[in-house]
Amino acid sequence: MRDLPLLTATEKHQLLVEWNDSKVDYPKDKCVHQLFEDQAERTPEAIAVILPSLERGSEERLTYEELNRRANLLATQLQQMGVGAETFVAICMERSLETIVAILGILKAGGVYVPLDPAYPQERLTWMLEDSSAPVLITQSHLIEKLPSHRARLLCLDANWGAEVRENRIATNCYVPSSNLAYINYTSGSTGRPKGVAIPHRGVMRLSTPS
């Protein structure tokens, strides 16, 4: 009895090969913001982001259409500020809906976002800004005094940041291949200084695709 096979050849192949296949198919030619735009086109009225508001004691929400429009507005302004393909743009903001707008806006403009935690020590923020050489820094007005000295142009998203962008100039598109960088992730380097790790759109898509 012990020599009798418990599985047929077909069942063995299914168990050992098909069910053990760790390869995941993902949109290799898509960028992060393009996938978002596809979803916004399919479900414009659906809620895209929900964030608790501590000040108001309620929740703040944005639909896909609203979020897409704000991101387009920001992308246009960033392009007018010189942001283009793989231009580094730093983000130093507290958690808010505008943080999501900032990330999408940078990607839509063709840029690379560099997240900076406002809780980091000044020395760390200074190093990250100098190392990335980001020409634009997106922040919030109440954080300006906490920022170290830098050469980047400031853009505060809680101010009237989109006033000078005319309605008919919104949604300026630029071609961004999936091999382009999406963001720079600074980690604690072995030397004690933060080390920037470049992540392309394709890498983000691979990690975010369910296995």
pLDDT in tens, 173-205: 677 778 889 989 998 766 678 889 888 888 766
Fold of 26-208: Rossmann fold (3.40.50)
Q: Is 76 helix (H, G, I), strand (E, B) or coil?
A: helix
CA distance 50 to 66: 13
Tell me the whole-structure pTM to 2 decimals. Answer: 0.79
Close Cβ partners of 34 (under 8 Å, ≥ 6 residues apart): 176
pLDDT in tens, 64-114: 999 999 999 999 999 989 999 999 999 999 988 999 999 999 999 999 999
Please state the separation of Cα 155 from the chain's center in Å: 17
